[in-house]
Structure 1
Amino acid sequence: MANNKKKKSLSKKIAKWFAVTVLVVIVLLVSAPFIFKDKIVLMVTNTINNSINAKVSFTNSDLSLLKHFPLASLTVNNVAVANKAPFIGDTLFKAKKLSLDMKITELFKKPDESIAIQSISTSNGAINIIFNEGGLGNYDIAKKDEADVNTNANSSFSFNINDYQLENIDFNYIDRATKMNLSVADIVHSGKGNFKEDIFNLDTKSTGYLSFAIDKTNFINKVNVSLDAVLEMDLKNAKYTFKKNTGYINQLPLAFDGFIQLIDDNQLYDIHFKTPTSSFKNALALVPEEFSGNLNTIETKGNFDLEGIVKGTLSENTIPNFTININSKNAMFKYADLPKSVQNININTQILNKTGNTKDTYITVNTLNFKIDEDVFSAKGNVKNLTTNPKLNLSAEGTINLANIGKVYPVSLEKKLEGILTANVSTRFDMNAVEKKNYQNIDNSGTISVDNFKYNGKDVANPFFINKTTLTFNSSVIELKEFSAKTGGSDLAVTGKIDNLYGFVFKDEVLKGKFNLNSNNFKISDFLTEETQTNTSESAGSLKIPAFLDCKFSANAKKVVYDNINLNNVSGDLYIHDQTVDLQNLKSDVFGGKIAFDGNVSTKEKTPKFNMGLNLSELNISESFGNLEMLKAIAPIAKTIEGKINSTIKLSGVLNQDMTPNLKTLSGELFGKLLNPELNKNNSKVLSLLSNKIDFLDINKLNLDGINAFLSFKDGQVTVKPIPIKYNDITVEVGGKHSFDNVMNYDINFDIPVKYLGTEVTTLLSKLTPKDAASIKSIPVQGNLTGSFASPKFESNLKNATSNLVKDLAEKQKQNLLNQGKNKLKDLLNGKKDSTKTDDTKDKVKDALKGLFGKKKNNGN
């Protein structure tokens, strides 16, 4: 029993001791970062300041004992190494995260002892190696004077690395003197090895996307590359030798042997690489996987060999000599699920530099030919002086049936191409001629033609047919000798010249040219997809005039159909530039007259804008204002007028996707002169209402001939400047406003001669003196037209005006009677009978006036 108690007591002590130990360890793991963080950060900062001539910054740091336990991990966030002169503004290195791993025991060392780093990792950053025009490199940032070297001897860190990792890092090698840029994007790289040894094996894995350009010319663009390699690292002699390795360019396998050695400030290369096998399948493996199809099902014959040697010294003045050979002879390939094959493939290409001077690098294509069915195509040429003034000498000859492309290669086309491409061209030029626009120094010859071309896809409204197109190449320009095409019900014929094709292709310049465009029938809707035609909202705004065009077109079309309007004998000039079309002297026959356009349409912003000046000459009023939505909104009443109009219109706004004006954005002004017009009140509720309200006014007999109208419009509101109208000897003036949704507010003022007011009024007038009667020729009547054009309302002050007239006539007659003498005045005023007659007369005048200006109510209606 005693022994059991002792055992239980001992177990409790062990458990208690273990619990305390675990607790202490946990407390240490949690608290250590706070204890040692400042010390480590200080050591990092001191090492950086003592070692390099650059500006280093980071936002914060974190020390963890748990992240890579049993190693301690120091993480620095948003670290950047910015260069000083002469590379001010350049960044040598930046990363979102940089981590250094070390043994936990390293944290307990004294500040004057170095800490051994075992692992380095960094992610989401970039390394930029830059050489300036003078040949200096931005990577040479280590302090070099003796005092700094002595300081560096006391560096806070030593490197005892076992492994390192790079994740999502971009590497850029830029030579500003030669304008060369080599980059590898999205690098994922790792390495493992015993860096304690002078000679050891480093096991590496790398992937990325390779690009290579010289002076904006892309020779390699984001090619997928990978390399799994074991390198023998001779640190003492700075020599790195390829041992077991497998590399890929896209899916093309490559094997390397040889070495790279650092000698002083130079690099010595002696590397040989080649494809492990000679299968022609290797050629298709160069194509990115998303475009090459399933290589496992492909049948090939013949060889494809890629082999290269890089040997020599990379220094400030030289590069290694290299020779890269690409060869294939009498090869073929056929995809299992496609009906045709490509035969007689022959390739003989070299990329060379035999002198070690970058300017002497050149590419030569001695042979490149193939055959599909009976169509043979061949090309050859060379490119020299790659890094200084590239000189190109190229030629191509042969025929390609475009329909066969999808039958021999798994090209991703929604719709099949059809047509015959025939080429027999050669070109010889240098980039200086392109840059300085000395196009006369470019030697071109030959022709390219396409016959019976057919294309149908979502980006076109109708199948597009090119009957014939021919390009002729000569020294200065490229001439479009013929272009004949049809789509839907439209036909096109274009000829012209392209002035700077090489500047467009090689220097990202705008494409300049002058063309003649002819058509018998041109329907705008044939060039707008169904989606575009149905989506007419302002916000849609996806129509874009290409920014790369700077071309002038002289156009002639017998018939143009735009928004169901037939334009005949259309002619004029179109100047396309800066995502804008300028319309110059554009003329057309339409609506029985002529219309001329000047202005522009711009698509630089998200929503297309336009600014136009129109000149209408003798247009049929009812047709033009009845069929064009824009004119209908500006002057709805005009569709009731038969006759002609001369008019000038200035307007601006934005366009819908179907290229019609968005009325909500329309602003401008219209001046019009009517020619031999006739009104038809039956076509307008407004005119019918006025005709019913004003008995003596026959709307159809209003004289509108020669009337000038001035209208302005903005924000959906139209303002009509008062327009004087004559009806016999009655003057009418109309002016006011209406909105594009047909809500109106118009003032209609009449000056009505009193003779239209009936016999009772004229009888009263006849009793006045000639002088008084002459002073009352007419009365003003003010009317107001409101509501909408579909449901108009009309009010006037006619009742008050006539009442006032009667009072005025009675008063004048009264004064005349007083002036005739006391006796007549007494006789007139003494009898009730006479007084009653006066009242009767006044009532009759009122009734007569009411009958003139308003319908009498019969039978209680």
Structure 2
Amino acid sequence: MKKTVYIVLAIFAFLLVALIATPFIFKDKIIERVDREIAQSVNAQVHYDFRNISLSVFKRFPDISMTLRDFGITGNPPFQNDTLVHVDQFQVDFNLWSVLFADTPSLTGIHLDGGSIYVKVLEDGRANYDITYPSQVEETSESNFEIGVDLIEVNNLTFIYDDRELDYFMALGNVQLAGKGNFTADVYQLPLKMEALIADITYEGTNYLRNKDFKGNTTVDVDMGNMKFAFSDGDFSLNDFLFDLYGFVAMSASDIEFDLNFEGKDNSFRSILSLVPGIYSESFAGLKTSGTMDFNGFFRGIYNDSSFPAFDINLNVVDGMFQYPDLPRPVSDVQLAMQVVNTTDNLDLTKVNIPTFSLNFGSNPISGNLLLENLVTYDIDGRLVGKLNLEELTSIFPIDGMALRGMLDVNATAKGRYDSIANMIPAINAKMLLSNGYIKSSEYPAPIENLNVSANIINTSGKMADFLVDLSNFGFELDDEAISGNLKVADFDLLKWDGAVKGTIDLGKMMAIFPMENTIMEGKISADLNTKGSYKDVELERFDRLDTRGEMSVEQFYFTSYDLPQGIRINEAKADFTPSRINLTKFDSRVGESPLTATGFLSNYMNFFLKENETLKGQLALQSNRFNVNQWMTESESTEENSLTVIELPTNIDFTMSVDAAEVIYDNLNLKQVKGNMTLKEGVLSFREASMAALGGQLVMNGSYDPRDLTAPKFDFNFNVIDLSIAEAFDKLNTVKVLAPVAEHLTGKFSTKLDFSGLLGQDMMPILSSLDGKGVVRVLEAAFQNSPLIQGVTSLTRLNDTNTLQFRNLNLPIEIEDGMLSLKPVDLRLWDYQANVQGSTGFDGSINYLVNMQVPAGRFGAQANNLLATISGTEATTSTLIPVAITLGGTYGSPKVGLAGGNSIESLLTNALRSRVSSERENLQARATEQFKATEDSIKSELKTRAEALQDSAKREAEKKVSETKDRAVEEAKNVLKGVLGNRVRPAAKPDTVKRDTTKSGNN
């Protein structure tokens, strides 16, 4: 017996050791198999590190579990900067036998713990989740995974869905999900649990849910053959609002069929309050509530391009009440009945009916009703009546640091149809009166008082011509300063108005009472304006029938914000108004550190403000002693350097501007006496006779900057450059460094007339591969020395007078195409030798030049004399001209200098001298030129191909930059999730955290 026990224990120990050792024995094989399957299946960058992989047979025996930490997937272009998936810890379970011995490994479980998923769909429908390779005809190219998953677990996941094709955005945080089922079967049940923070759900610019806790627990009946998913009774909640959802969703090839029913479960008035923004806060747990609530409805029918499901949503609240802890007054007697219904498949026939709505704010009753028959003719019947004592608000809602007084009286009715074609509007009788308003903030000693607003909106007949808005009085006082006014608008056909405003506002005091985060604003705005007229006269430009007169002034204004950290200060500004224009008579300001004054006028301003698609016209004269453009560059977080970004110009502005600046600092340039005229029209900025002193000379330019396509902003200029320093141009201008690197070792000045065009990158610098131009460069006198090219030529030719070059009266014809500068063949003297030079410099820094020189044989020294003596019957002497063809390749900093017609100067001289006495008399330089041109054509073709590729790449990068405005919304959502999950206090819940994306590239 004892022996049997030992044998059993030994066998058990052996099996235990085998189970522990098996993953390690076969780890390399398992990892190699998984890695191979990923490479065959996934068209994306998969980031993981073998050192972060562990294997176990105990987690889900008899399956083997592979756990991977810091796993991520990043898309290929155009999604190369978007992390589709990042997982802190990712576990997959496999059938061990299938991995080791079967042809098809079987995946049985998925476990995700911590991480983020970012799904992005572009406007053209391309999606970053589309990372599988297209199916191939060859069977061997398809993935060999078998999916036999029976368990899915997700913990602490952040999920963002950004669909720009549908204009739909959803951000979820702290997602918890668990599901079990026989996922390989066609029909099975899936018990499912899920929790998440709904940070944001927005569709077509309208936000539907924000900052809500969701929980769900249900069983889904899955029918994969018919793509039908049925929900049995379950428990769902949004914050404290509980509801049930049952029915089914079926997805065919083109339609989605819904048959869903929902209803509230065990809810009270408190439940619906938890969905109201601002109420569901830290103090919600202590909120006193009473009252009943009922909620139910259905969503039933076909959804496709032409049909929308019918629905019926009902909400009823009876005897609702809530009161904040430690505040004396409640909101009580809340009665609400609401139905949103559509029994057709046309969403426009939706009906909204609120027959009952009433509540008491403390002792102030408010009641109303609304019936909206449809979304086509907008037949409406509504009423809102109530009085509100503002002083009681602070005893109902927690409003810290603010004292309110005054009475707000509202009485409004609307009944009828809105039809813009038939010129019909509902009959309206609406009155609002705010009397003796008072606002006192603890942040400022003086109150806003005598705040009065009296407004009436009246239309008894339903005709546009009988419409009247009468804002007969509005105004307030603040610290001995007051502003008041009135406005009357009548007849919606002619849009007649008559109004006035007079007084002063101290912005610094207003900001102390109503502060704005990260914003400072100070100064006084004074106005005394009267206006009277009709829009019909504006349309017909009958300005003599309009009467808009008065003046407005600004004193000691200062504004700075997070988006404008440089700040703008207006010491004094004055404008007077006439019916046809606004005259800016004085404008003394400092934008950032740069002083700026201006005068001018604006015209067509009435059309611009009152009508769509109108253009504001104007003329401005701008002056500055010193304007620093660098201060308005944007800071790059990645490089911590300043760089410009593409400046978008408005298309509805038609301005003519004259500029006069004594000094302008731009990038590393110091520009003096900057003068010129600019025109901004239809989104294009044009320059005319813009002149400046720079780089030791004078520059005059005409041309345009066109950013209408933000992904490919264009420029097209004509430059007249007079006596610019060659050395300074090389030091300050990157284009010169690339296309004319020879300028590094040149001293002197140059002039040119050059037509120059191309594309700008997102840093507002020219894309070198896009440049085109044509002109002539004139050099009066220059010296060229200490150059790698000269050193190379001296070393090759062994000429003893080539260390320095002097140039006089050079005229160099150049062309630039696709970023390649070409020098047309030009005759000049090099080292007192007659020469012809041609070639090109590429945007990649490459050079390719041919120098054909005629050098007297005697200049080559003893080697030439010896050769002369050995050639029988020669007529050559030391003055005989030797054709020397020198090729310059490589880059300017590392040139490759060669000889055409010989491998060395000795062979060149021998061939040249023999050709002088032979009957063939070969033209060595002609042959060298022919060979050079063939090589140059090949180089140009290659560079053109590269230029097109680089421009395409730049455009894709620009498209990404342009889309960053939407990407910012994603980043803001991520920040909201981090902040809310990290800091938000939720009733009966522990704050959660979201781990930052720490995806690292490992071996893959």
Q: Note the C-alpha offset of 1:524.
A: 1.4
Residue 502 of structure 1 aligns with which residue? 606
Aligned-pair CA distance for 1:527: 2.1
Match for residue 693 of structure 2 among 589, 595, 607: 589
Give the AA of the match of 1:190.
N
Which of 736, 739, 764 lines up with 1:634 in the alignment? 739
Q: TM-score, normalised by structure 1?
A: 0.61
The aligned counterpart of 1:375 is: 481
The answer for the alignment partner of 1:786 in structure 2 is 889
Q: CA deviation at 1:313?
A: 10
State which of 362, 367, 375 in structure 2 corresponds to 1:255.
367
Provide the secondary structure at the position in 1 that maps to 2:792. helix
Amino acid in structure 1 at the alignment position of 2:777: G
The match for 2:576 is 472
1:266-277 → structure 2 map (5 Å cutoff): 273-277=384-388
The verdict on how the C-alpha distance between 1:470 and 1:259 changes in structure 2, with shifts beyond 3 A counting, is: closer
Q: Which of 627, 651, 666 is equivalent to 2:756?
A: 651
| Aligned counterpart, 2:456 | 350
Aligned equivalents of 1:168, 1:586: Cα separation in 2: 67
State which of 175, 182, 190 in structure 1 corresponds to 2:314. Answer: 190
* TM-aligned CA deviation for residue 401 of structure 1: 1.0
Distance in 1, matches of 2:910 and 2:227, equals 96
State the match for 2:708 in structure 1. 604
Contact 1:461–1:530 (CA under 8 A) maintained in structure 2: no
Q: What is the distance in 1 between the residues matched to 2:854 and 2:791? A: 21
- d(CA) in 2 for partners of 1:439, 1:687: 73
Superimposed CA distance per residue, residues 582-618 of structure 1 (whole angstroms, 9 cap, x where no aligned partner): 1122111222321111221122223332222211122
Q: Which amino acid is the alignment partner of residue 364 of structure 1?
A: D
> 1:616 is matched with which residue: 712, 721, 725?
721
Q: Map of 1:341-490 to 2, 5 A cutoff?
A: 341-386=447-492, 388-410=493-515, 412-460=516-564, 462-490=566-594
Structure 1 residue matching 2:580: 3-state secondary structure: coil
Separation in structure 1 between the aligned mates of residue 379 and residue 913 of structure 2, nearest angstrom: 117
User: Hey, what's the Cα distance between the residues in 2 that align with 1:461 and 1:242?
Assistant: 48
Whether 2:908 is the aligned partner of 1:801: answer: yes
Asked if the contact 2:646/2:764 (under 8 Å) is kept, the reply is no
How many angstroms apart in 1 are the aligned matches of 2:423 and 2:777?
Answer: 77
Q: Which amino acid aligns with 2:357?
A: N
Report if aligned partners of 1:622, 1:638 keep a CA contact under 8 Å in 2: yes
Please give the alpha-carbon distance, in whole angstroms, between the structure 2 residues aligned to 1:335 and 1:640: 68
Aligned partners of 2:428 and 2:460 also within 8 Å: yes
Q: What stretches of structure 2 of length at least 5 have no aligned partner?
A: 1-186, 188-225, 235-243, 263-293, 302-310, 321-333, 340-351, 920-1004
2:358 pairs with 1:246: yes
Q: CA deviation at 1:301?
A: 1.9
Question: 5 Å matches for 1:506-521?
Answer: 506-508=610-612, 509-521=614-626
Counterpart position of 2:51: none
Provide the rounded CA distance (Å) in 2 between the counterparts of 1:761 and 1:62.
Answer: 96
Cα 1:587–1:259 shift into 2, 3 Å: closer
Q: State whether residues 248 and 258 of structure 2, in contact with CA within 8 Å, keep that contact through their aligned partners in structure 1.
A: no
Seen in structure 2, the aligned counterparts of structure 1 residues 670 and 190 have a Cα distance that, compared at 3 Å, is: same
CA distance in 2, matches of 1:673, 1:381: 67
- Higher mean alpha-carbon deviation, 514-523 vs 601-610, is at 601-610
* Residue type of the alignment partner of 1:246: S
Counterpart amino acid of residue 804 in structure 1: N
Q: Equivalent residue for 2:436?
A: 330
Kept in 2, the 8 Å contact 1:189–1:204? The answer is: no
Cα distance, 1:484–1:697 mapped onto 2, change above 3 Å: farther
Residue number in structure 2 paired with 1:685: 788
Preserved contact between residue 249 and residue 258 of structure 2 (Cα < 8 Å): yes
Q: What is the identity, as a one-letter code, of the residue corresponding to 1:744?
A: I
Render the CA deviation track for 1:721-767: whole Å, top value 9, x for unaligned. Answer: 23322147521222223333433232222211234344796799799
What amino acid is the match of 1:380? N
Q: Determine if the alignment matches structure 1 residue 722 to structure 2 residue 722.
A: no
> Quick one: which amino acid aligns to residue 849 of structure 2?
Y
The structure whose Rg is larger is 1
Shift, 1:791, TM fit? 2.5
**Residue 403 of structure 1: CA displacement?**
0.9
Is the partner of 2:888 in helix, strand or coil?
strand
The answer as to whether partners of 2:615 and 2:652 remain within 8 angstroms in 1 is yes
Separation in 2, partners of 1:473, 1:340? 33
**TM-score after normalising by structure 2:** 0.53
SS in 1 for 2:793: helix
The Cα offsets for residues 90-149 of structure 1, whole Å up to 9 and x where unpaired, read as: xxxx99857799xxxxxxxxxxxxxxxxxxxxxxxxxxxxxxxxxxxxxxxxxxxxxxxx
**Structure 2 Cα separation of the partners of residues 649 and 466 of structure 1:** 40
Match of 2:771 in 1: 666
Residue 467 of structure 1: CA displacement?
Answer: 1.3
- Cα offsets for 1:276-334 (capped at 9, x unmatched): 4333677999xxxxxxx964764222211112355899999987754322122222022
Matched, 1:575 2:679: yes
- 1:748 maps to what in 2? 851
Question: Contact 2:582–2:603 at 8 Å: present in 1 too?
Answer: yes
Structure 2 distance, partners of 1:496, 1:284, is: 52
Q: Which amino acid aligns with 2:553?
A: S
**Farther-moved stretch of structure 1 (568-577 vs 483-492):** 483-492
Query: Is the contact made by 1:672 and 1:708 (CA closer than 8 Å) also made in structure 2?
Result: yes
Q: Deviations over 1:513-554 (max 9, x none)?
A: 11111111112112223239968999x955322333221211
- Report 1:106-255 matches (<5 A): 165=297, 189-190=313-314, 229-230=336-337, 245-246=357-358, 254-255=366-367
For residue 622 of structure 2, what is the amino acid of its counterpart? L
Q: Distance in 2 between matches of 1:758 and 1:317?
A: 101
**Counterpart residue identity of residue 751, structure 1:** Q
Structure with more contact order per residue of length (Cα contacts < 8 Å, sep ≥ 6): 2
Range moving further from structure 2, 660-669 or 600-609: 660-669
Contact 2:882-2:913 at 8 Å conserved across structures = no
**Contact 2:380–2:414 under 8 Å retained in 1:** no
CA 1:96–1:527 in structure 2 vs 1: closer, same or farther (change >3 Å)?
farther
Once the two structures are superposed, what CA deviation does each residue of 1:36-75 show, in whole Å capped at 9, x if it has no partner? xxxxxxxxxxxxxxxxxxxxxxxx999989689x999798
- Which segments of 5 or more consecutive residues in structure 1 lack a partner in the other structure? 1-29, 31-59, 81-93, 102-161, 170-186, 193-201, 206-226, 233-239, 286-292, 813-861
Distance of aligned partners of 1:328 and 1:629 in 2 relative to their CA distance in 1, 3 Å threshold:
same
Contact 1:525 1:533 in 2 (8 A): no
Flag the 1:577–1:596 CA change in 2: closer, same or farther, 3 A: same
Give the Å deviation of 1:424.
0.8
Counterpart amino acid of residue 245 in structure 1: F
Report the Cα distance in structure 2 between the residues aligned to 1:248 and 1:95, rounded to whole angstroms: 44
Distance in 1 (alpha carbons) for counterparts of 2:319 and 2:248: 24
**Partner in structure 1 of residue 730 of structure 2:** 625
SS at match of 2:730: helix
- The residue number in structure 2 matching 1:40 is none
1:736 to 2:843 alignment: no
- CA drift at 1:498: 1.0
Matches of 1:584 and 1:473 in 2, distance apart? 30
**Using the alignment, how far apart are the partners of 1:329 and 1:794 within structure 2?**
90
Q: Which one-letter code corresponds to 1:325 in the other structure?
A: K
The superposition leaves residues 381-401 of structure 1 with CA deviations (integer Å, 9 ceiling, x where unpaired) of 111113x12112121111111
The whole-number CA distance in structure 2 between the counterparts of 1:75 and 1:648 is 71
How do 1:693-708 residues align onto structure 2 when only pairs under 5 Å count?
693-696=796-799, 698-699=801-802, 702-708=805-811
What is the correspondence of 1:258-297 to structure 2 with a 5 Å cutoff?
Answer: 273-279=384-390, 295=399
Percentage of matched positions with identical amino acids: 23
Q: Secondary structure at the match of 1:277?
A: strand
SS in 1 for 2:736: helix
Distance 1:586 1:406, change over 3 A: same
Contact 2:623 2:660 in 1 (8 A): yes
The CA distance in 2 between the partners of 1:422 and 1:681, in whole Å, is 66
